[in-house]
Chain A
């Protein structure tokens, strides 16, 4: 069974990186009925109904029952190519065992689904079809049950074969007697014209000779009784074929009244089996079903990127709430800001596809559109710069409720104008009915009112210094999101962690000296402000 995502539903560059194939492989199971599933993004109504249905089934059937149902579903064959034949009353004999297999397996599943059965009428129809198939076939549906006439024909054919065998043996003996040539019917012979038997062979009335290159091709001129036997066989075969063809027509006619309900039941069964698969996989791999609402909000608890989770020992799931308007995420380099964006993108696209999510819970507005802007180096093919790409991105007419994820907002141009543009965009989105989450380093954004601020927790600088490779750095990252209240915002503004990290590297001495001075001044300023704050609290003044 193969599950794929419709071409274009996911950005090509992220398909491999975010591990969609790996995630879809979790759902892989031997279910012939569900061969070749292609997931496509759903609309809001469809997705809401889809997840509701999943939840209903999940509440009705226990994990064990789901497993039994899935095990029973493994016996269901895929009839996609056979259904048109059924609908056109054109089933062939070799279709019948598959149809019967489906009906038999369906019967067993119906017994397991007493809590939520298929519609009654379709169950009765399926029973009737199975009964008709039993009537027209034999040997476990593999052969046609002919009847007296066809049985007689078979016996007569066998008898004719035996007779023909004897005639052929006698025919061969006659040829050898007359010509000295040992022939084996129906294989012709090639004879050298210099062969001493040539004359006798050419004269023999049992044989036909023609020139074939340098040789003489000796073929057969069968006697009349042998030809008569062949004619009788052909007549019997023709009669047999006619009887069998009529039987097949009669079978198709009898099945016709049930074909609509069968097709309906088949489609229902496919859907149901797919739901069972989604539910059981969710159960096996700690996936959740999202709860969809129409508020402008998205809450993920312990959202995971499975491809990253399996690689990193210190992987931390993402807890985040996106509200209407703008949310901005700050954090030092390699603290995981972009990973947060990608994780949210991953989960939002899974919701569009109707899949369970790798998270403890997800409550959100349905993502009718998910827009992701990552850092890029521009595109040589189009001649557009990264700044141009960013402007084009924000020029899109994002609909109401759109999810917009943007990395390093307007870092693509000079810092002065980049900061201005970033502030303007954040302010604009803050007033909209969209959900923007962007990352940034611009501290000026912290002053904007009416937006949500988050920051990534910083790593211990000493551990940063001890790291020898990118993998080492990843291992020491906390990967934790902190919602930034006023105090946290001030921490972001005054954050000097990058400078402290820089001190731990072998930079030129004058640079390190200057960094140290900045840090010292910053510490003195902080201390005096703290003292002033304390004095103000106590009602005294000090310098």
Chain B
């Protein structure tokens, strides 16, 4: 089973629109070849109106034969339209989730498991029912970017909102920075793999890839990490981080010009995407242990944007203009 998540740079970047678009493209072929498609969501998606901003939102219409995972409460009005195959509930899950297959076409509100742990557990359960070549699409939420982590998603669809608002532009730029980070070298990846049994949160290596130190506590709160980095400041070192590159840590590491930082995955970079006035020049090189696997970028252009910010060799689409292709 392949899992593709839909994340976005902003609240109205078009995640659900992209979700619907991909689903509508996959469905006809899947129906012909009997490939299973499963839909779910983190947070609530598919409501007619946003409960906070009271704006119209895109609905999600299930087609017959589509599997889905949602909170049972959202099925009360749809008796007879689905076949329920699995119940995932307390204590392993916070709410009651129903894994079912649609028998008719009907609009659905999707509300799937809300944490990485629950999603991973749910995937394990549903993949035992679905065929091996099935596709699991998860509609995301702006404050749950962990969905894009490699242990949850095999690849992502990324929705970008381009507007005139400066703050929003900075946010978008930050996201695009994150997803365009290059992968680390295979050599470094192999070295890091040697330490995988310890599951380190951080690992500091010298120029010859010998260990200087490692730690398993939260990266942002580990004084040992900072101490060692300061000691090695003038030497060429490599720092593997499997924890968020917070503002404070980023500010601390900014002057280390001989440092290569290898983030485990790009979601760890997202915390520092907003530009602060007077921010230090960030000197270390950043690469990724898990390269970003982007299936497609969906652009929503409320104002013109610079295509140069987009990653190279990545399909880009504006559903409403169909005009940008890299």
State the CA gap A52–B47 with chains docked (Å). 55
With a CB–CB cut-off of 8 A, which chain A residues contact B100? 94, 142
CB distance from A525 to the nearest CB of B (A): 62
**Out of B79, B85, B105, B321, which one reaches A142, CB within 8 Å?**
B85
B228 at the interface (CB under 8 A from A): no
Q: How many residues of chain B have a CB within 8 Å of chain A?
A: 33
State the CA gap A247–B100 with chains docked (Å). 20
A139 at the interface (CB under 8 A from B): yes
Report whether A139 and B319 are in contact in the complex, using a CB–CB cutoff of 8 Å. no
Report whether B84 and A94 are in contact in the complex, using a CB–CB cutoff of 8 Å. yes
**Out of B76, B81, B89, B106, which one reaches A78, CB within 8 Å?**
B89
Report whether A143 and B83 are in contact in the complex, using a CB–CB cutoff of 8 Å. yes
A222 at the interface (CB under 8 A from B): no
> Which chain B residues (31-83) contact chain A, with CB distance < 8 Å?
64, 72, 75-83
Report whether B98 and A146 are in contact in the complex, using a CB–CB cutoff of 8 Å. no
A187-B83 CB under 8 A given contacts A81-B90, A94-B98? no
Report whether A94 and B320 are in contact in the complex, using a CB–CB cutoff of 8 Å. no
Report whether B87 and A97 are in contact in the complex, using a CB–CB cutoff of 8 Å. yes
Which segment of A112-120, A237-245, A434-442 sits at the interface?
A237-245
A154 at the interface (CB under 8 A from B): yes
**Out of B81, B98, B321, which one reaches A189, CB within 8 Å?**
B321
With a CB–CB cut-off of 8 A, which chain A residues contact B75? 92-94
With a CB–CB cut-off of 8 A, which chain A residues contact B21? 187
CB distance from B164 to the nearest CB of A (A): 9
Report whether B91 and A35 are in contact in the complex, using a CB–CB cutoff of 8 Å. yes
**Out of A158, A188, A214, A240, which one reaches B320, CB within 8 Å?**
A188
State the CA gap A347–B81 with chains docked (Å). 55
B103 at the interface (CB under 8 A from A): yes
With a CB–CB cut-off of 8 A, which chain B residues contact A154? 103-104
**Out of B79, B98, B104, B303, which one reaches A157, CB within 8 Å?**
B104
Report whether A142 and B83 are in contact in the complex, using a CB–CB cutoff of 8 Å. yes
State the CA gap A265–B83 with chains docked (Å). 27
With a CB–CB cut-off of 8 A, which chain B residues contact A244? 79-81
State the CA gap A243–B76 with chains docked (Å). 14
B285 at the interface (CB under 8 A from A): no
State the CA gap A143–B87 with chains docked (Å). 14
CB distance from B93 to the nearest CB of A (A): 11
User: Residue of B at shortest CB range from A143?
Assistant: B83
A150 at the interface (CB under 8 A from B): yes
State the CA gap A93–B80 with chains docked (Å). 7
B96 at the interface (CB under 8 A from A): yes
A157-B90 CB under 8 A given contacts A81-B96, A144-B80, A213-B303? no
CB distance from B46 to the nearest CB of A (A): 15
Report whether B90 and A36 are in contact in the complex, using a CB–CB cutoff of 8 Å. yes
Report whether B77 and A143 are in contact in the complex, using a CB–CB cutoff of 8 Å. no
A213-B103 CB under 8 A given contacts A94-B72, A146-B80, A241-B77? no
State the CA gap A146–B80 with chains docked (Å). 8
A240-B80 CB under 8 A given contacts A187-B320, A213-B302, A213-B303? yes
> Which chain A residues (193-249) contact chain B, with CB distance < 8 Å?
213-214, 217, 237, 240-241, 243-245, 247-248
User: Residue of B at shortest CB range from A154?
Assistant: B104
CB distance from B302 to the nearest CB of A (A): 6
Contact with B along A2-27 (1 / 0, CB 8 A): 10000000000000000000000000
A493 at the interface (CB under 8 A from B): no
With a CB–CB cut-off of 8 A, which chain A residues contact B103? 143, 154
Report whether A189 and B320 are in contact in the complex, using a CB–CB cutoff of 8 Å. yes
Report whether A94 and B87 are in contact in the complex, using a CB–CB cutoff of 8 Å. yes
State the CA gap A139–B103 with chains docked (Å). 12
A161 at the interface (CB under 8 A from B): yes
With a CB–CB cut-off of 8 A, which chain B residues contact A161? 105
**Out of B84, B87, B106, B319, which one reaches A237, CB within 8 Å?**
B106
State the CA gap A98–B21 with chains docked (Å). 34
> Which chain A residues (30-69) contact chain B, with CB distance < 8 Å?
35-36
In the complex, which of the residues B78, B83, B85, B302 has the most CB atoms of chain A within 10 Å of its own CB atom? Answer: B83
A325 at the interface (CB under 8 A from B): no
A331 at the interface (CB under 8 A from B): no
State the CA gap A198–B118 with chains docked (Å). 49
CB distance from B322 to the nearest CB of A (A): 8
A150-B320 CB under 8 A given contacts A94-B87, A143-B103? no
With a CB–CB cut-off of 8 A, which chain A residues contact B87? 77, 94, 97-98
Interface residues of B (CB under 8 A from A): 21, 64, 72, 75-85, 87, 89-91, 96, 98, 100, 103-106, 301-303, 318-322
Interface residues of A (CB under 8 A from B): 1-2, 35-36, 77-78, 81, 92-98, 139, 142-144, 146, 150, 154, 157-158, 161, 187-190, 213-214, 217, 237, 240-241, 243-245, 247-248
Supplied contacts A241-B79, A244-B81, 19 more A-B pairs, CB within 8 Å: A1-B91, A92-B72, A92-B75, A93-B75, A93-B80, A93-B82, A94-B87, A98-B87, A143-B84, A150-B80, A154-B103, A161-B105, A189-B322, A190-B318, A213-B302, A244-B79, A245-B79, A247-B79, A248-B79
26 contacts between A and B (CB under 8 A): A2-B91, A35-B91, A36-B90, A92-B75, A92-B76, A92-B79, A93-B79, A93-B82, A93-B84, A94-B72, A142-B84, A142-B85, A143-B83, A143-B84, A143-B103, A161-B105, A187-B21, A187-B319, A189-B321, A189-B322, A214-B303, A237-B104, A237-B106, A240-B104, A241-B78, A247-B80
